[in-house]
Amino acid sequence: MQDSLSQTFSALADPTRRALLARLSRGDANVSDLAKPFMKDMSLPAITKHLKVLEKAGLVTKSKDAQWRPCKLNGAPLKDAVNWMEHYRVFWEESFDRLEIYLKGKKR
């Protein structure tokens, strides 16, 4: 069983899933509307599989409304990923700042 952060990064690794999330960032959409831009290259079942990966990672919630399956973006797992990356951003910025100081000292 993967931890939630691993599931988030795994889900984000695929460009189709990132495109689906980008579309959902503009508002809720049903599965068929989400699938339209991909229909030349991908089947509806393939899009459904991508949505299931996003659901499993907690990035998307899908509900039932008669025949419609509206999907909604859930940003909480993205926030967790950003918080995890922020720690390393600070580390690398501090490392590059020290390197810059070192290199400036070498030039003198």
The band of 59, judged by pLDDT with boundaries at 50, 70 and 90, is very high
Gyration radius from the chain CA atoms: 20
| Tokens matching residue 53 | 């990966």
**At which residue do the structure tokens 């909480």 appear?**
76
Report helix, strand or coil for 26: coil
Beta carbons of 36 and 20 less than 8 angstroms apart: no
pTM listed for this prediction: 0.80
Mean pLDDT along residues 80-97: 89
The pLDDT value given to residue 1: 53
Looking at the 3D structure of the chain, how many domains does it have?
A: 1
**pLDDT on residue 25:** 95
Q: Which domain holds residue 77?
A: 4-107
The sign one gets for the Cα dihedral 16, 21, 24, 29 is: positive
CATH number, domain with residue 53: 1.10.10.10
Spatial distance between the Cα atoms of 101 and 15, rounded to a whole number of angstroms: 38
Alpha-carbon gap, residue 44 to 66, rounded angstroms: 19
Task: Label residue 69 by pLDDT band (50, 70, 90).
Answer: confident
Backbone angles phi, psi at 62, to 5 degrees: -125, 135
Is the Cβ–Cβ distance between 7 and 83 less than 8 Å?
A: no
